[in-house]
Amino acid sequence: MTYTVVWLKGETVLATTNFDDLSPAKRHAKEHFPIQKNRRGATAVEVRDDQGVRHFLHGDER
């Protein structure tokens, strides 16, 4: 199964990255959120499987 890390700014998709396993996808999302927030203004990151089920969500606090 493929897991996609989706970087969001509001409802706009900024970028995506694919992984073969959930664990590295979640780790990537957690570790790179501050970087993507600074570089692209990301307000949230989520990890979805190839059927669209969300397995992880992290958002910026307002």
This prediction's pTM: 0.92
pLDDT above 90 for 60 = no
Tell me, what's the pLDDT at 62? 61
Counted domains in the chain: 1
Residue 17: inside a domain, yes or no?
yes
The burial class, CB within 10 Å (0-12 / 13-18 / 19+), for 9 is middle
Answer yes or no: are the C-beta atoms of 44 and 6 closer than 8 Å: no
Host domain of residue 26? 3-47
Residue 34: inside a domain, yes or no?
yes
pLDDT (tens digit, 9 = 90+) per residue, 14-35?
A: 999 999 999 999 999 999 999 9
Residue 8: inside a domain, yes or no?
yes
CA distance 15 to 24: 17
